[in-house]
């Protein structure tokens, strides 16, 4: 038991080191680099294999996250998708509410905003997930709460099979993410430099 406990603690510490290093690099990016990166995501969007009229979950940037709003507008205009944004329900768990660009957003706590309770909960066929670090095998480090891993596991138990792509700046890549058994591997990662398709990727070509 001690060995197992020590191993889990060492893995958690390794994840935290990688998270802190990559977030520091992300935080240091200048404003003009961020704006250019947000625009560049659109040029690589076709590789995501978005199905016209499908449901795609995205996220609004907090802190120094990459800005998906240009990509979201592109997916609406070109593919006619329904977009969902993440919310934490009062009963617990991460869900997605439908969002249109004309909708007002409401405060959700911790400095975040999202669709209000009048908007329906949707189930995404494609999840665009935030992250703090990634590798080319599809490893992902989030922010330490496990919200996306738990949500994807729940959706799969309910019979859904969403594809999951991380979206981040290229500087957030590492050689290898320290992975735990519950970590959900990504189908790919979209950065301003292109689409990286992992072993989980089911269609299209990587960039």
195 in a known ligand binding site: no
143 in a known ligand binding site: yes
- Within 8 A by CB and 6+ apart from 112, the residues are 60, 62
Mutual angle of helices 31-43 and 69-79, in 10-degree steps: 20
- Within 8 A by CB and 6+ apart from 49, the residues are 126, 163, 202, 203, 204
203 in a known ligand binding site: no
Let me know: does 135 contact 174? Beta carbons within 8 Å: yes
142 in a known ligand binding site: yes
148 in a known ligand binding site: yes
101 in a known ligand binding site: no
**Closest to 71 in 3D by CA, of 135, 131, 128:** 128
17 in a known ligand binding site: yes
Question: CA-to-CA distance for 118 and 121, rounded, in angstroms?
Answer: 9
15 in a known ligand binding site: yes
Burial of residue 44 (number of CB atoms within 10 Å: 0-12, 13-18, 19+): middle
146 in a known ligand binding site: yes
113 in a known ligand binding site: no
Question: CA-to-CA distance for 22 and 204, rounded, in angstroms?
Answer: 28
141 in a known ligand binding site: yes
Residues in the annotated binding site for substrate: 60, 65
Binding site, annotated residues: 15-19, 60, 65, 140-148
Q: Which residues are annotated as a binding site for ATP?
A: 15-19, 140-148
């Amino acid at each position: 038991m001690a060995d197992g406990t020590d191993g889990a603690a060492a893995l958690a510490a390794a994840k935290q080191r990688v998270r802190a290093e990559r977030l520091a690099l992300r935080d240091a990016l200048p404003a003009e680099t961020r704006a250019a990166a947000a625009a560049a995501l659109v040029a690589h969007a076709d590789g995501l294999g978005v199905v016209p009229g499908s449901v795609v979950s995205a996220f609004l940037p907090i802190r120094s996250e990459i800005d998906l709003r240009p990509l979201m507008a592109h997916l609406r205009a070109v593919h006619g998708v329904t977009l969902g944004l993440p919310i934490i329900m009062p009963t617990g768990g991460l869900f997605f509410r439908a969002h249109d660009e004309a909708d007002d957003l409401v405060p959700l706590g911790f400095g975040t905003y999202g669709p209000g309770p009048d908007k329906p909960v949707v189930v995404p066929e494609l999840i665009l997930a935030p992250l703090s670090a990634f590798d080319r095998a599809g490893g992902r480090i989030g922010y330490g709460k496990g919200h996306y891993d738990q949500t994807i596991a729940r959706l799969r138990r309910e019979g859904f099979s969403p594809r999951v792509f991380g979206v981040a700046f290229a500087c957030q890549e590492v050689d290898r993410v320290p992975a735990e058994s519950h970590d959900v591997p990504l189908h790919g990662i979209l950065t301003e430099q292109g689409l990286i398709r992992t072993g989980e990727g089911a269609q299209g070509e990587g960039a």
